[in-house]
Amino acid sequence: MTATAKKRILIIEDDRHIAEGIELNLSLQGHEVKVAQNGIEGLEAWKQWCPHLIVLDLMLPGIDGMQILQNIRLEDERLPVLILSAKVDAADRVDGFLVGVDDYMTKPFSLEEFLLRVGRLLTRDQWQREQDDTLKTPEQKQNVYRFGANTVDFSSGQAECCAGTIQLTEQEIKLLKLFIVNKGKPLSRSRLLEIGWGYNKGTSTRTVDNYIVRFRRYFEEQPKKPKYFKSRRSLGYVFDHDPIQ
């Protein structure tokens, strides 16, 4: 079996004609293809179907493509994502690459070029995963993160911390990963809600504050004097820690 033979490819695209055309051509190349026509369906399909590659439109009903990409990158930093969008401004491309897209094509597009890019992404991804499996340390393979006296095993969802042994919920894991990815950077409540929960901007809730209280209770020696999960007036929250020696 070659590197690009029969892979699962998820298309998140609300234009039915474009989605059907892509689906047909990828299927003819031997791939298994699924189509989601809005952001919510797309996120559900990604979680349940575990595709090898995602073709993603940016302007989607419900949750937009950028929010989908941000959600994906919290759990999988390597899954190939190709944005296929009518947005042609350089700023949109830059935003996509900053969040973690692997490739970006604008509509209208060349089908031949699209298929070549898909093949390249699938081949590169398989090669990188083989290399990573060879080079990773045992700790990296176990997906373990340490800060201070705390150890979080993301594979099992279990944390050994100041509060003892904790079984983290799926949402706690997602939010914790978001803080780790943005280590040292303030994150506003609205930003955390937008990425972590898929809320629209402007949503008012104390949900984030409640999770911060939990994290402080889990991971801080003195929850009322936090060392890792700090508040920043008018900015939100920031997670930071010294390098592990």
Do 123 and 203 lie in a common domain? no
Q: Which of 135, 164, 192 is the last residue of a domain?
A: 135
Q: What is the pLDDT at residue 129? A: 63
Sole residue written with tokens 């176990």: 142
Is position 55 within any domain?
A: yes
CA distance to 2, 106, 185, 214, per residue, from 179 (Å)? 38, 31, 8, 14
One-letter amino acid at 159 equals A
Number of domains in the chain: 2
Is position 3 within any domain?
A: no
Is position 1 within any domain?
A: no
Is position 112 within any domain?
A: yes
Q: Which of 114, 135, 156 is the last residue of a domain?
A: 135
Phi, psi (5° rounding) for residue 230? Answer: -105, 150
Is position 39 within any domain?
A: yes
Q: 163: domain CATH number?
A: 1.10.10.10
Do 127 and 198 lie in a common domain? no
Q: What is the pLDDT at residue 196? A: 76
Do 150 and 218 lie in a common domain? yes
Do 182 and 119 lie in a common domain? no
Do 202 and 123 lie in a common domain? no
Q: Which of 120, 135, 150 is the last residue of a domain?
A: 135
Do 227 and 145 lie in a common domain? yes
Q: What is the pLDDT at residue 103? A: 94
Helix axes 65-75, 170-181, angle to 10 degrees: 100
Do 128 and 177 lie in a common domain? no
Do 188 and 128 lie in a common domain? no
Is position 2 within any domain?
A: no
Q: What is the pLDDT at residue 56? A: 96
CA-CA distance, 87 to 92, in Å (whole number)? 7
Do 12 and 117 lie in a common domain? yes
Enclosing domain of residue 144:
139-239
Q: What is the pLDDT at residue 194? A: 75
Do 131 and 15 lie in a common domain? yes
Is position 209 within any domain?
A: yes
Q: What is the pLDDT at residue 71? A: 86
Do 169 and 197 lie in a common domain? yes
Do 112 and 155 lie in a common domain? no
Q: What is the pLDDT at residue 54? A: 97
- Averages of pLDDT over each 10 residues, the chain, 245 residues: 71 95 95 94 91 94 87 86 90 86 93 94 76 53 83 92 91 90 87 74 72 95 94 91 72
CA-CA distance, 13 to 23, in Å (whole number)? 11
β partners of residue 81: 54
CA distance to 23, 25, 96, 174, 229, per residue, from 122 (Å)? 16, 16, 19, 26, 38
Phi, psi (5° rounding) for residue 199? Answer: -70, 150
Q: 42: domain CATH number?
A: 3.40.50.2300
